[in-house]
Chain A
Amino acid sequence: MVISNKPLRFIIATLVACLPLISFANPEMDSVKVKTEVAHESAEAAHAEPTDVKSKIKEFINHHLLDSHDFTLSVNEETGEHYGVSLPIILWDNGLQVFLSSKFHHGEEIAEHNGNYYVLHHEKIYKTQADGELTEGENGFPTNVRPIDFSITKSVIGIMLVSLFMFLLFGSLAKSYSKNNGIASGVGRVFEPLVLYVRDEIAIPNIGEKNYKKYMSYLLTIFFFILFLNILGLMPLGFNVTGNIAITVSLAILTYIITTLTANKNYWGHIFWMPGVPTPMKFILAPIELLGTIIKPFSLMIRLYANMLAGHVVLMSIIGLMFIFKSWIGSTLSFGLAFALSILEILVAFLQAYIFTMLSALYFGAGNEEHHHDEAHH
């Protein structure tokens, strides 16, 4: 075997391959506690145990999927201590209100700032009176006033990290070309083929030789942005950025704006006055085509969001199975399954970045198509 000749590299590769598994250290830690609790309870009531573990796992997964106002790495359930850092809360409520999220004590206490009282309820901030009472509306949501929230949340930290990483990485890649006689050096060598792939396999075939250059910056940015955020979601810190609909909405809106603003007259002609069909048909096709322009970015948004969300839910549920079965065979199976799924998730991370970029390029290309004379006469 080639690998065994380089034992150090093999060890490093194995460590990297096992990294995704560490991201589930938190449920493990939590559930060890759950296990012991349950063991005590099961002596009294045999039927009570599965619901308790199940609801705890469910709660943990739901908490992971939401964006959070503090960066908690682990929780000690016995002492209630949270290990992690507080993040700044920025609210617009009769002026800018800035304070640290440690004031909330992870949603357990009422935060007082400049005479205003705020409560953190399911990762949403509500303004309350001094007693912190939330009045519940008809549909189960609190009716309290929600100040406009500009907080630096966990997802924002993830985006900042990835942006900084991309800036440094591709900045150094660009610099290395001028230093090294047009040949990439260092880490950039790994990413040069990916950049070329986006150009040669995604941009040029879909947009065309003539127009592809003005879209390259956007296509490369979203490809690496989504790719790195997807990979970050598989890493131990427990980010779930691309599985958050707010982020995919903004990416899809960017694609929609660029398509709409850079489209030529043929594109609009095909939407409002489809050539080559009978006149009554043109009136029917116009609203359908117009709706289609909105459905396209909408499907982009749903696809990325749902794929990443489903991946996280399935992985964490399978890890959770370990604590429901509580036998060596169940644990071994779910560990093996989780390992295989983690590897599948790496593939999905690449695939979703590729699909998003590919379809964006396809829409840009549709907006830039030149008029085909023969098409109209057939």
Chain B
Amino acid sequence: MQIPTIVGAGLIVIGAGLGIGRIGGSAMDAIARQPEASGKIQTAMLIAAALIEGIGFAALFAS
């Protein structure tokens, strides 16, 4: 049985969503613990989120 590529794209999007959610949640925790480091945490968070987002979009365009 052949699975359509769109299903694979959907799975990747779910994974990317979970990943970005985790990054955001962890960043929230970190900022709550150390509010003075929020600037650095935000920068690192954005970079990590952007890298995962790239994979999500690549999957969407490959499907």
Contacts from A to B (Cβ < 8 Å) = 201, 299-300, 302-303, 306-307, 310, 351, 354-355, 358-359, 362
Contact = CB atoms under 8 A, between A and B. Distances in A.
A302 B54 CA distance: 7
A17 B47 CA distance: 29
A358 B55 CA distance: 18
A310 B55 CA distance: 15
A307 B57 CA distance: 8
B57 A359 contact: no
A355 B53 CA distance: 11
B12 interface: no
A306 B46 contact: no
A355 B58 contact: no
B interface SS class: helix
B61 A355 contact: no
A103 to B, nearest CB: 35
A303 B53 contact: yes
A53 B53 CA distance: 33
Nearest to A202: B43
Contacts, number: 31
Q: Chain B contact residues (Cβ within 8 angstroms of A): what range? A: 10 to 19
Given A201-B43, A355-B47, 10 more contacts: A302-B57, A303-B50, A303-B54, A303-B57, A306-B57, A306-B61, A355-B46, A358-B46, A359-B47, A362-B47
A354 B50 CA distance: 11
Contacts of A354: 46
B60 interface: yes
A358 B58 CA distance: 20
Interface of B: 43, 46-47, 50-51, 53-55, 57-58, 60-61
Nearest to A354: B46
Contacts of B47: 355, 358-359, 362
B62 to A, nearest CB: 10
B54 to A, nearest CB: 4
Contact of B58 (A299, A310, A359): A299
Contacts of B43: 201, 358
A351 B61 contact: no
B46 A299 contact: no
B61 A359 contact: no
A302 B50 contact: no
A133 to B, nearest CB: 33
B50 A306 contact: no
Nearest to A351: B46
A306 B53 CA distance: 10
Contact of B60 (A306, A351, A358, A359): A306
Nearest to A310: B57
A310 B51 CA distance: 17
A302 B58 contact: yes
Contacts of B60: 306
Residue among B43, B55, B60 with max Cβ neighbours from chain A (10 Å): B43
A223 B50 CA distance: 16
A162 B46 CA distance: 27
Contacts of A359: 47, 50
